[in-house]
Amino acid sequence: MSRLDISPEVERLELEGYHHTFESSQGDRRALALLQAICFCHDQQIVAPEWAADAFAKASNAWFRLQVCSLDEAFGAKTMTNGRRMQALQRRNVRFKISAEIRQAIAARKSVNRALFEEIGRKVGCSGGQVDKIYYATKWIPKVSDTKSAK
């Protein structure tokens, strides 16, 4: 993946989101948040935060030292079938695009409202309602009323 043209502030917010998910989840969600953070840092050509580097090293070392049987076990993830993997990949891609677009809008001090959700939905290929649902289901994205600008 190539580097996204986003500000350091948006990069920081993205990493905060991964960190929050990592800390508040377990199993696949926790593993995914860690691996997404590492990949995001690689793609953005930035240094991984300490929490991500430490967790990645801990899981990798468990595998290298033969303390676990698989990388799935080391990272705490479950193996998926190919069909489930493709569905999950598509959902994650859309969620990532929505999160990035919302963070860009917040950083640009745009109002977070139905019109923004519709605009983002058109960009990423889903409905404004789906964008709204993802926005409010993702607790670590700052919530702003429909009538106020983000601060």
Domain spans in the chain, listed from the N-terminal domain onward: 1-79, 84-151
Tell me the pLDDT tens digit for each residue of 126-136: 899 989 888 88
Asked if residue 101 lies in contact with residue 109, where contact means CB atoms within 8 angstroms, the answer is no
Residue type for 14, please? E
Mean pLDDT value across residues 100-109: 87
Question: Which pLDDT band, with edges at 50, 70 and 90, does 89 fall under?
Answer: confident
pLDDT of 1 reads: 62
Tell me the pLDDT tens digit for each residue of 31-79: 999 999 999 999 999 999 999 999 999 999 998 999 988 888 888 887 6
Residue 144, pLDDT above cutoff 60: no
* Lowest mean pLDDT across 9-13, 23-27, 80-84, 115-119: 80-84
At the topology level of CATH, where does 84-151 sit? Arc Repressor Mutant, subunit A (1.10.10)
- pTM value is 0.55
More confident residue, 15 or 107: 15
Where are the alpha helices (H) located in 1-149, listed in sequence order? 8-24, 27-44, 50-64, 71-75, 82-107, 114-124, 128-137
H/E segment holding residue 45:
none
